[in-house]
């Protein structure tokens, strides 16, 4: 599953996700990717999130929107909210995978509970990262 989140120079946020799904899937199975709030979510007031991993668990956790809710209702920052959802809530239901996020100040986070996540980021301040493993 691939995805991207961005904050533009005006502070506007967007998220997009795309996938071929699971190998050997049957019965027109779909995962979290096309379900707004589970795999993809963007709200200028909080964050933009794109998820990757075992879609059924991200669906049950409503993972992307949950990050936004933690920021909106509990006042958490992006990193804190993503860590709670990815490293605590998803782990407790065996939801393997991760997510990327950005907030309105162009802060980014890339959090995962699996062995690796193909990921990259670039910031206008000059920071740039490409990585696979922890």
Distances (CA, A) of 128 to 4, 39, 42, 83, 116: 15, 24, 22, 21, 18
Tell me the closest approach of the beta carbon of residue 89 to another protein, in angstroms. 16
Is the Cβ of residue 42 or residue 70 nearer to another protein in the bound state?
Answer: 42
Is the Cβ of residue 19 or residue 76 nearer to another protein in the bound state?
Answer: 19
108 is catalytic: no
DSSP 3-state of 68: helix
Tell me the closest approach of the beta carbon of residue 64 to another protein, in angstroms. 9
Cβ 132 vs Cβ 114: under 8 Å = no
Is the Cβ of residue 24 or residue 73 nearer to another protein in the bound state?
Answer: 24
What's the gap between Cα 70 and its chain centre?
Answer: 14
Would you say how long the chain is, in residues? 134
Tell me the closest approach of the beta carbon of residue 70 to another protein, in angstroms. 16
Name the DSSP class of 9: T
CA atoms within 13 A on the CB side of 85: 36
List the catalytic residues.
1
């Amino acid at each position: 599953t691939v995805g991207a989140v961005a904050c533009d120079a005006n502070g506007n946020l967007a998220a997009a996700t795309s996938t071929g799904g699971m190998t050997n899937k049957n019965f027109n199975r779909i995962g979290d990717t096309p379900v707004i709030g589970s795999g993809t979510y963007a709200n200028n007031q909080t964050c933009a999130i794109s998820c990757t991993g075992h879609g059924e668990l991200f669906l049950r956790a409503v993972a992307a929107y949950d990050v936004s809710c933690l920021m909106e209702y509990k006042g958490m920052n992006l990193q804190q909210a993503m860590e709670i959802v990815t490293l605590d809530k998803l782990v407790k239901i065996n939801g393997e995978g991760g997510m990327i996020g950005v907030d309105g100040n162009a802060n980014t986070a890339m959090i995962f509970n699996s062995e690796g996540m193909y990921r990259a980021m670039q910031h206008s301040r000059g920071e740039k990262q490409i990585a696979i493993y922890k």
